[in-house]
Every structure is written in C-alpha cells, then in structure tokens.
Structure 1
Amino acid sequence: MALLILDNVLSDRGSKYAVSGGPAATRAEAEALVKELKRGKRFAKATHNTWAVLLPEEGPVKADDGEAGAGMVILRMLKRAELAGHVVIVTRWFGGKHLGGDRFRHVQSCVRAYLDEIGVAG
C-alpha cells in the first residue's frame, strides 16, 4: 500500500493540518492505511484523523474521529472529483482555539491540495 502524506498543508490559530491518502478498494484497506498513518508517532498523537473513501463495492464510508461533519466534507469532494477506491485522511492537531466553520474550509483546502498532488480535478 502506498501512502502519500502532505504534511504542514496549513495552520490557523495554532491548529495544524496535514492530508494523506492512498488506494483502497475495501473498508479494510482504507482502515489499514489509516492505521499505517497512525504508526507515525506524530499522527498517532493528532487530535483528529478524519477520513473518507468511495468504495467501488461498498459505497461511501467516512469517519469523523471527533471532528463532527468533516468526513462528509471529504466525501462530498471525492464524489465531485469522481475519485473512487481512494481513501483521503485529513489530520488536525488542535491548537487551543476553536475555529468554528473555518475548520470545514480547512478540510476542503487539504483535500484540494491532495487532489492537486495526485493530478485529479476536484
């Protein structure tokens, strides 16, 4: 499994964001990539590792990991980009200040950076 990690994508009021992902044809493969990411101490200690994937057989799967609504933001962007069989994980390290609705814009920015990196129009 190839896991692509884009670290330090953006920061706002102390919170830092990264985005990662890779091919996943099943929920088990998606969860294995999340687990692989969290083997890195820094990612294991992150406040949130939110992820989503459009699975060819099982359909959409998402996990907010405490960041309510963020998985749906990723899922919508994957649908718009028509990117199936590829898990995208947005990681956030909470910086002490609540970001309100800006956190969803940051999740979108991270997913957009990831899609740009792999050459998929979002």
Structure 2
Amino acid sequence: MTTPFLTIATAKQAELTIKKSRFICSLQRVSSEQAAQQFIKEVQAANRKANHNCFAYLVGDQDQIQRESDNGEPSGTAGVPILESLQMAKLHNVVAVVTRYFGGIKLGAGGLIRAYSNVTTAAVHQAGIVQRIKQLQIAVTVSYRQHDPLLYYIKEHQLTVSNEEYGVNVTCNVLIDEATADQTIAHLQNRFNHQLKIQKMGTRFHEVPYKINN
C-alpha cells in the first residue's frame, strides 16, 4: 500500500495571541522551491514591521526539498516546530510562514516552540487537507432518458463527473478509481442492462477531501 499524497486544500492564514505577541501563520500550496521562496518574500514584504518571519517548507512527492528558518528567534524554537507541524500532518508541497509581532513579554524556548507549532497546526486545520489520487476517466454515453438515472448512480456511488457533453445523446466524463476500474465498469453496465457506451479516456490526478484525525 502506497503512502497517500496529502496537501492543503486551500491557502489559509491563522493567528494566535500569546502573552501579547501575535503569531500569524500564512500557509500556501507550492509546486517548487522557487515558488516557496517567492511566497516567503511576499509575506516578509507585507510584514516589514514584524519582529520575525520564520518559515518552513516541504517540496516534492517524497519531500526531497525541506527547508526551515528561525529568522532571528533562538535556534530551534521556530523553523523546526513549523516544519514538524507540517510533517505531522503528512503534507507535501506546502510552505508556512509564521510572522511574529513581539508583545514585550518573553516566552522562553518552550513557549516559542509551542506557539510556532500551535499556530501552524491551526492554519493546517483551517486550510483543510486533500488527498491526490490517480483515477481513470471514462466517457459514459447515455440517452437523455437514462441521464437522470445515471447521475443518481454516480451520486449514490460517490463518483465524480468532470464534465458533460450534450448532443444526440449525453456523454458524461466520470472519474473512477483506477485499481477497481474494471469492476466499476462491469457493475455500471449491469445496472443499465448493457445499454451504455463506455470508453476509457486515460488517467489523471484528482483531489478528494481528507479527514484530519487529530
């Protein structure tokens, strides 16, 4: 069984105030180290008056690129906790920048670690997680009379329609799990008494919501 590829569903920002210090985590999905560094620069530019803009990012299907920075905080109190929070959520292709506006009260090493970790985790929960899965796209051609029953079948079995084309008949492009494609097609044909025209159209990646357990 392969490890699922997880990433955030959407860019998000979360904020925590701890002993008058504001910790703001900006979370963004990226596909390259260059994109991660560009996002970091943008957050830094938008928060020039902040005391710190600490960050971490993971890039690649196997997290081939991993970087983190304390940006002036005591060594190991910011970048590593941010990175570990992303790793705990098993995320890939994501960058997190935590901006700190110092409130005048020192938190100590332990307090900083908890603050940077907690605000990153909060941002991840707000962003949501999706799993990237490889699916087979099939073109299912039906008569207009069969169209509504087909859509009901698709909804009943939690399948995804990528698009529809209307002509003499209706063609629905449906995404199904590649591993069980033949069984799904056979079941679909049996349900509609072999009156469907089904054509395999190749594979593509599709993202589905992934429940965060912790």
Matches within 5 A, 1:62-101: 62-67=68-73, 68-69=75-76, 70-100=78-108, 101=110
Is this contact kept in 2: 1:27–1:61, CA < 8 A? no
1:22 maps onto 2:28 in alignment: yes
**Per-residue deviation, residues 25-60 of structure 1 (Å, max 9, x unmatched):** 2222111001111232xx121111111111116421
1:47 maps onto 2:51 in alignment: yes
Q: Which of 114, 117, 122 matches 1:108?
A: 117
Is this contact kept in 2: 1:53–1:85, CA < 8 A? yes
Q: 5+ unaligned residues in a row in structure 2: which ranges?
A: 1-9, 130-211
C-alpha displacement of 1:12? 2.2
Bigger radius of gyration:
2
C-alpha displacement of 1:65? 0.6
The residue that corresponds to 2:126 in the other structure is 117
**Is the deviation greater in 72-81 or in 49-58?**
49-58
Is this contact kept in 2: 1:16–1:92, CA < 8 A? yes
C-alpha displacement of 1:4? 3.3
The residue that corresponds to 1:10 in the other structure is 16
Structure 1 length as normaliser, TM-score?
A: 0.85
**Per-residue deviation, residues 68-115 of structure 1 (Å, max 9, x unmatched):** 211111111111211111101111111122101111111111011111
* Alpha carbons of structure 1 residues 111 and 11: separation in structure 2 relative to 1, 3 Å: same
Q: Count residues in correspondence.
A: 117
Structure 2 length as normaliser, TM-score?
A: 0.50
Is this contact kept in 2: 1:18–1:110, CA < 8 A? yes
C-alpha displacement of 1:3? 5.3
Q: Aligned residues: percent identity?
A: 31
Distance 2:28 2:121 in 1: 15
The residue that corresponds to 2:153 in the other structure is none
- Runs ≥4 residues deviating over 4 A: none
